[in-house]
Amino acid sequence: MFGTMTTSTTAAAKPEPQAPSSSKAPRVNPAVNPDDDSDDEKWHDARSEGRPGSPPPPQANADDDNDDEPPKFTDDEIRDLLKRGDELKSQGNDCFRKSDWDGAIRFYTQALKTVPLRPQERQTKKSRPAGLSDEDEDDAGADGQNDTGDKAKGKEKANEPEEPQEAPKELTPLEKEAATARSVLNANLAACYVKQGKHDEAVRLCTEALADDPNYVKALHRRATANEALGTWTSLSDAEKDYKRVLELLPPSDPLRTSSTRSLRSLPERIEVQKKKETDEMMGKLKDLGNSVLGKFGLSTDNFKFTPNGQGGYSMNFAR
């Protein structure tokens, strides 16, 4: 007789998931000085992760709906961060006064990484897979439903009242101080990029500064001058808007009004010239594309004539 041999296997115990560390090392924040100016080649957004003084990022958790929440700090920690940031900003100011743009950029960037992050908007709706709209989400869960039912459901959704959005939360005094610090540092970085001729970066940084302080005149004026230097149709139009806003905010005696007014007067003509130039370039490219297709049939865009129809549109006529 043959005996039956049995083997037993013991499943390896799965390690318990490690909870994310709740400790938060203090982060540093810069003191606010609206007269400072400067910026960095490898500048990171004020909302980027992995900043010095910030706690380690939490481990991914599918059930955690607050993964995008900024780290929380005590009031004492925020004060420490603001103090450290102010020290770094002062070092950046010293570099800026010496025309050491790279050095100023380095210190301003370190200071910006030190101050508390800008609070992010809370999502009022639960996140869904990227690219999936409300109608797609309905279709995905309604197999076999006919088109008539889908259309009727879509109409019902269109008639539903929109959910009221939460009013912006009032910032605490410390949060306002941190917001001012971020705004000044971003504007200072923009000043450095202007000095280096990197006007697109200056525009981006000024926009970051204005996200924390929409009425920051220096950031508005700096973004306007940078957009002027870029010289495109869009950038000149944006500069015009910023100059108008600057004049609304400045007192009548401010010397900055003179240069802003002068620039604003010159912009309409420059905008029209650039608009025509870019429109002609675009139409030329479209014509070349059309000819490359029509040429296969022995035709060209010259065979199609467009004439105004008197109703704000054009009539197209074909001619050999």
Encoded amino acid at 47, one letter: R
Q: Which helix (H) or strand (E) holds 314?
A: strand 314-318
Q: Specify the higher pLDDT residue, 3 or 122.
A: 3
Both structure tokens of 139: 């279709």
* Strand ranges for the chain from DSSP E: 304-308, 314-318
Range of 20-29, 35-44, 107-116, 152-161 with top mean pLDDT? 107-116
Does the pLDDT at position 153 exceed 60?
Answer: no
Closest CA to 37 of 102, 96, 94: 96
Q: Count other C-beta atoms under 10 Å from residue 56's C-beta.
A: 13
Which are the contacts of 116, defined by CB distance < 8 A and separation ≥ 6?
A: 27, 29, 70, 71, 73, 78, 81, 175, 178
Please, which pLDDT band fits residue 22 given cuts at 50, 70 and 90?
A: very low
What whole-number percentage of the chain has pLDDT above 70?
55
What is the average pLDDT value for the chain, to the nearest integer? Answer: 73
| pLDDT score at 170 | 84
| pLDDT score at 304 | 66
What is the rounded CA–CA span in Å between residue 221 and residue 237?
A: 14
Does the pLDDT at position 164 exceed 90?
Answer: no
What is the rounded CA–CA span in Å between residue 80 and residue 24?
A: 13
Model pLDDT for residues 296-313, shown as the tens digit of each residue: 666 666 666 667 777 767
Long-range own/partner contacts, residues 251-259 (CB < 8 A, 24 or more apart): 256/217, 256/221
Q: Count other C-beta atoms under 10 Å from residue 40's C-beta.
A: 23
Does the pLDDT at position 226 exceed 90?
Answer: yes
Asked whether the beta carbons of 299 and 293 are under 8 A apart, the reply is no
- DSSP lists the bridge partners of residue 318 as 304
What is the rounded CA–CA span in Å between residue 143 and residue 166?
A: 35
- DSSP lists the bridge partners of residue 305 as 317
What is the rounded CA–CA span in Å between residue 291 and residue 298?
A: 10
Q: Count other C-beta atoms under 10 Å from residue 281's C-beta.
A: 10
Does the pLDDT at position 171 exceed 50?
Answer: yes
Model pLDDT for residues 193-214, shown as the tens digit of each residue: 999 999 999 999 999 999 999 9
Please, which pLDDT band fits residue 118 given cuts at 50, 70 and 90?
A: confident
| pLDDT score at 82 | 95
| pLDDT score at 307 | 73
| pLDDT score at 278 | 81
